[in-house]
Amino acid sequence: MKTIATWNVNSLKVRLPQVLQWLRENPVDILALQETKLINDKFPLSEIKEAGYHAAFNGQKTYNGVAILSRYPVVDITIKNPYYEDPQHRIISATVDGIRIICIYVPNGQSLDSEKYTYKLEWLDSLYKWVKDECKLYPKLILLGDYNIALEDRDVYNPTAWIGKNLVSPLERAALTQLQGLKLTDSFRMFEQKEKLFSWWDYRRMGFTLNKGMRIDYILLSPLLAAKCISCTIDRIPRSWKQPSDHAPVLATLD
């Protein structure tokens, strides 16, 4: 039995106490983090170790930054997609107890007429090329993180208002569908779920209080692991804490 989680923490410096508390209450085996917003020199390794976790991290100043925490040693760490030269640190992958973990923080895109949207699509296209190779190398593979894409209308609180906009536009959704075409399964949709379960809520407009959210964080599983997956949930509780991240953790359990 093994539990894997992903959480965009929106600054690990600010959220470290919450991450440690959450890990005490949810002692997952692997936790992928996004938006650490820390250079590697400032990664809180001693606190993480004290909590019983190994760590690999790929940070930068101010923006982005990703990490993998694990109860098992983290080996064969890479931080680059060979198909894309990217100054923004959005990827870390490693092998943990025989499972290849790829933690991603997909670019936001801002809006469809933005250069950042072009960057997002290029980034996703090159991600596909790379993950296609990785799937061949690693039959046990997990691609998880903040995708910044709401795949279906049921992943959006108000799909009508969002038609064609950034996060839901057809090209973004096609990019995520293409990844799933590598036989990577959205673990959340393997199971019957209640309606309007989201993983992100805007800080503004009382987003969380009104449950105006989106599901944009995913744990995708290769066939060997999907066959072992027995649950996938979103833990809304940390989003209700004081000074929360705007994202909630997503957890998948493998038998």
Partner DNA sequence: ATGGCGGCACAATGCCGA
Residues labelled as active-site residues = 105, 146
Question: With binding defined as CB under 7 A, does residue 204 bind DNA?
Answer: yes
CB of 99 to DNA, least distance (A): 25
Smaller CB separation from DNA, 148 or 222: 148
Bridge partners (DSSP) of residue 30 are: 4, 70
In this chain, which stretch among 19-27, 50-58, 66-74, 109-117 interacts with DNA, using CB under 7 A? 109-117
Burial of 161 (0-12, 13-18, 19+ CB in 10 A): exposed
In this chain, which stretch among 58-66, 71-79, 177-185, 188-196 interacts with DNA, using CB under 7 A? 58-66
x/- binding map, residues 131-170, to DNA, per CB under 7 A?
---------------x-x-----------------xx---
Q: Which amino acid is at 165?
A: K
CA distances from 208 to 157, 198, 202 (A): 11, 10, 7
Question: With binding defined as CB under 7 A, does residue 62 bind DNA?
Answer: yes
Phi, psi of 48 (to 5 degrees): -65, -45
In this chain, which stretch among 134-142, 176-184, 188-196, 243-251 interacts with DNA, using CB under 7 A? 243-251
CB of 196 to DNA, least distance (A): 15
8 Å CB contact between 47 and 73? no
Question: With binding defined as CB under 7 A, does residue 246 bind DNA?
Answer: yes
Phi, psi of 29 (to 5 degrees): -80, -35
CB of 138 to DNA, least distance (A): 27
CB of 8 to DNA, least distance (A): 5
Smaller CB separation from DNA, 58 or 95: 58
Smaller CB separation from DNA, 167 or 254: 167
Question: With binding defined as CB under 7 A, does residue 8 bind DNA?
Answer: yes
Binding residues (CB under 7 A) for DNA: these are 8, 10-11, 13-14, 35, 37, 61-63, 107-108, 110-111, 116, 146, 148, 166-167, 200, 202-205, 214, 216, 243, 246-247
